[in-house]
A and B are shown apart, each in its own frame.
Chain A
Amino acid sequence: MSKPVLATATLAGCFGCHMSLLDIDEKILDLIELVEFNKSPLTDIKNFTKKCDIGLIEGGCCNSENVHVLKDFRKNCNILVSFGECAIMGGLPAFRNPIPIKECLEEAYLNGPSVKGNNKSGIIPNDEEIPMMLDKVYPCHEIVKIDYFLPGCPPSAELIWNALTALITGNEMELPYEVIKFD
């Protein structure tokens, strides 16, 4: 039987969840035995080359690019998992949500202490190559259907490992208290 195929992506996140995934230490070797990686920052495969079984999404959606990637994942993965607070709830990036995007951009490019007086042309970057910002940061399940949610900031290595092995083996997931206790 061929190995299950895994894909991962970081959207509006800090890469911390991926770091946590790598934090499973020597089990990473087991994981490589267990699954085949496809599109992922870990493999640097830019485009899906085949249909995947599991997609792990870190981060919420803050721009049009994030939305396209997420939709692409939904199309190419049988099971989609939001892992980490940003994917589940928007996380830290969503702190901008109560502030209108126009004000955010103006603060970042025109009025903020580090740019004030330096941005002589008064232009907010608008090249068509740059992804378009969304009005707010959306958690992934507000864009596409998400099948599972792994909480944590980041989710602990063990939680990720338990979840992945449960998904792959079809066994029930082990959730000891230590793994889901965050404070």
Chain B
Amino acid sequence: MGNNKVQSAIRKYNQDKTRLMDILIEIQKDENHISDEAARIISEKLELSIVDVEQTISFYHFLSRESQGKYTIYLNNSVVSNMMGGKIVAETFENEVGCKFGKVTDDGLIGLFDTACIGMSDQEPAALINGNVFIHLTPFRVKEIVRDMRAGKDVKKMHTSYLGGSQNKSEYLNSVVRNNIMRMGPVLSDDYNPGTIIMKNLPQLTPEQVIEEVKSSNIRGRGGAGFPTGLKWEFCRKAKGDKKYIICNADEGEPGTFKDRVILTEKPKLLIEGMVIAGYSIGATEGILYLRFEYKYLEHYLENVLKEAREKNLLGKDIGGIKGFHFDIRIQFGAGAYICGEESALIESVEGKRGEPRDRPPFPVEKGYNDCPTVVNNVETLCSTVKIMLNGGEWYSSLGTPESTGTKVLSISGDCRYPGIYEVEWGLTITDILDMVGSTDVQAIQVGGPSGSLIGPEEFERKLCYSDLVTGGSFIIFNYNRDLLKNVVLNFTDFFIEESCGSCVPCRSMTPLFKQKLEKILSGNGVASDLEDLKNWGKLMKINRCGLGHTAANPILTSLKNFKYLYEEKLERGKEYETGFNLEQAVSESCEATTRVPEF
């Protein structure tokens, strides 16, 4: 019976090996795992080696070879979740379910697993249960949920609160997720009728004119790297290739970021329009919306938005009446890998492979998806371009600062009165932002997620812009009650150890060494030379291939730079060298195994 499902999943995607991800995700959903038999059938039908299939399965967090239980719980173990009581929620889950994290109950009913930030930092602790989002978890709720599972209740019917506001409660979504939009701007404003640009403006403009308009706005990529968007489109337009692609990167995996989730919920039509505009300007016929697996609950809703767009001729053939402009969008889901937010890794993933970054050059604008010229843009970037086309590049560049034009949608969480989404003009200082979100007594802020920087009060006058503090949008605020090294830096370091694709040696091997060193310091065995070691090792991270590798030691390196006193107060004084080696501890396991009393 299992085989039939495997066969039908393969048929559904036309035995196309570049759709391996979709096939695996479908089988995982139906069977709670991908069996050896299923992997064998896939490799035969898709004419892939079994190793190719297995390595893709093993790469992604949400794909597994063993059953993950009828109910699969993925509890977020991010810093913010733990700040909001995630630890006690996790303990309650273990007690109620009766197994440890990483295990499935003996009866195969419930699987309990950790996962990295699921994009709900403003409503933690949160968990995914069979793909459905559960927010604001408490020990009380956990007991109810586990009781419901034992009673065989449908996950969709387990909610006890009202559905979230606005589109979250729409027919295709039915989700309790909250938007928490605290401040809107061009991207999030409510005053635009989607499709206007496609229907009214685009037919009057050549692709080159569109690119010129976007260039004149000086907008830069909102994913974090900040590459000028107009220039990227121009490169791709000029690149040689029969087929071109526009990919929207909605793989927001940076812990503490959740703005794309809100944009996808409230402004999907704006995003589609942005992708169509980009597609028109570069000469693409196909768009791919790459969504992180954590947002799978948006699938039906977004599919329906796409369907409606097709019905209105905003997608499909001769879009907006422009003869020969054919463009459509499909959704591609990831399966749980932070690295897939890196554009070349994302492209590998869309092709059905492990999400390992490619060597660059060639850049995706020359050789991207299926080796064709490809533009990869962030959700927010694409949405912004619609407003640029509506009001003009000049208008857009009047917002923000001269070199950082426009607005940025921030995801703000942690110790503040009003966590949520804030769309602000570039150029605000950190102090402005803290005042805006109602935060006092702030010890530190993690700007730009774990790959960004941990900064302290002496830097709160710095400005949010590309020439000073650049961010993909994540702000996590910590007050003085938080233990930064133990609860923040260590957690982020674990995150990078988990998320390293393993391709480059320093990223794969140094990150655990960084962690060991940090733990040594935390346990009171650190000496001054350990801090020097950390600093020097940091230089090695530059030889990694991608952004993840470059920044994987940032939690330690930036906290060491800005909060050196936290490290120093834990060091052993007057010692030049200390390994922290404990002989009694090291022999205890073997002595127990051989039933002998340790003697020293």
Contact = CB atoms under 8 A, between A and B. Distances in A.
Given A142-B579, A143-B579, A128 B587 contact: no
Given A105-B594, A126-B594, A133 B587 contact: yes
A82 B583 CA distance: 20
A101 interface: yes
A144 B64 CA distance: 42
Interface in A20-76: 64, 67
A98 interface: no
Contact of B577 (A134, A138, A145): A145
Nearest to B599: A128
Contacts of B583: 64, 67
Contacts of B577: 144-145
B589 interface: yes
Interface in B511-528: none
Interface string B576-600: 1101010101111111111110111
B595 to A, nearest CB: 6
B579 A124 contact: no
Interface in B542-600: 576-577, 579, 581, 583, 585-596, 598-600
Contacts of A100: 589
Contact of B593 (A64, A105, A128, A134): A105
A106 B589 CA distance: 13
Contacts of B591: 132
A163 to B, nearest CB: 21
Nearest to B590: A133
A100 B589 CA distance: 9
B395 to A, nearest CB: 60
B586 A134 contact: yes
A135 B587 contact: yes
Interface string A87-105: 0000000000000111001
Contact of A105 (B586, B587, B590, B599): B590
Nearest to B598: A132
Contacts of B596: 126, 128, 132
Contact of A142 (B576, B581, B600): B581
A138 B585 CA distance: 13
Given A142-B581, A143-B579, A64 B594 contact: no
A105 B585 CA distance: 18
Contacts of B581: 67, 138, 142-143
A141 interface: yes
Interface residues of A, number: 22
B587 A64 contact: yes
Nearest to B516: A142
Contacts of A138: 581, 586
A145 B598 CA distance: 25
Q: Classify chain B's interface size.
A: 20 to 34
A100 to B, nearest CB: 7
A113 interface: no
A49 B158 CA distance: 76
A102 B579 contact: no
Contacts of A106: 593
A132 to B, nearest CB: 4
A16 to B, nearest CB: 24
A124 B594 contact: yes
A93 to B, nearest CB: 14
B590 A135 contact: yes
A176 interface: no
A101 to B, nearest CB: 5
A124 B587 CA distance: 15
Contacts of B585: 135
A125 interface: yes
A134 B590 contact: yes
A105 B595 CA distance: 12
Contacts of B593: 101-102, 105-106, 124
Contacts of A145: 576-577, 579
B50 to A, nearest CB: 24
B528 to A, nearest CB: 13
A101 B590 contact: yes
Nearest to B576: A145
B580 to A, nearest CB: 8
A53 B90 CA distance: 55
B576 A132 contact: no
A5 B599 CA distance: 33
Contacts of B587: 64, 132-135
Among B592, B593, B595, B598, the one with the most A-chain Cβ atoms within 10 Å of its Cβ is B593
Nearest to B579: A142
Contacts of B594: 105, 124-126
Nearest to B592: A102
Given A67-B583, A126-B595, A126-B596, A135 B576 contact: no
Interface string A143-162: 11100000000000000000
Among A100, A126, A138, the one with the most B-chain Cβ atoms within 10 Å of its Cβ is A126
Given A105-B594, A125-B594, A126-B594, A135 B579 contact: no
A38 B594 CA distance: 36
Among B577, B590, B598, B599, the one with the most A-chain Cβ atoms within 10 Å of its Cβ is B590
Nearest to A132: B587
A141 B586 contact: no
Contact of B579 (A125, A126, A144): A144
B599 A101 contact: no
Nearest to B520: A142
Contact of A135 (B586, B595, B598): B586
Nearest to B583: A67
A152 to B, nearest CB: 19
Contacts of A125: 594
A37 to B, nearest CB: 27
Nearest to B529: A145
Contacts of A141: 579
Contacts of B586: 67, 134-136, 138
Nearest to B586: A134
- Top-8 shortest CB links A-B: A133-B590, A145-B577, A102-B593, A126-B594, A132-B587, A126-B596, A134-B586, A101-B590
Interface of B: 576-577, 579, 581, 583, 585-596, 598-600
Interface of A: 64, 67, 100-102, 105-106, 124-126, 128, 132-136, 138, 141-145
18 contacts: A64-B587, A64-B600, A67-B581, A101-B593, A102-B589, A102-B592, A105-B594, A125-B594, A132-B587, A132-B590, A132-B596, A133-B590, A135-B586, A135-B587, A135-B589, A138-B586, A142-B579, A143-B581
Given A100-B589, A102-B589, A132-B590, 11 more contacts: A105-B590, A124-B594, A125-B594, A128-B596, A132-B598, A134-B587, A135-B588, A136-B586, A138-B581, A141-B579, A142-B581
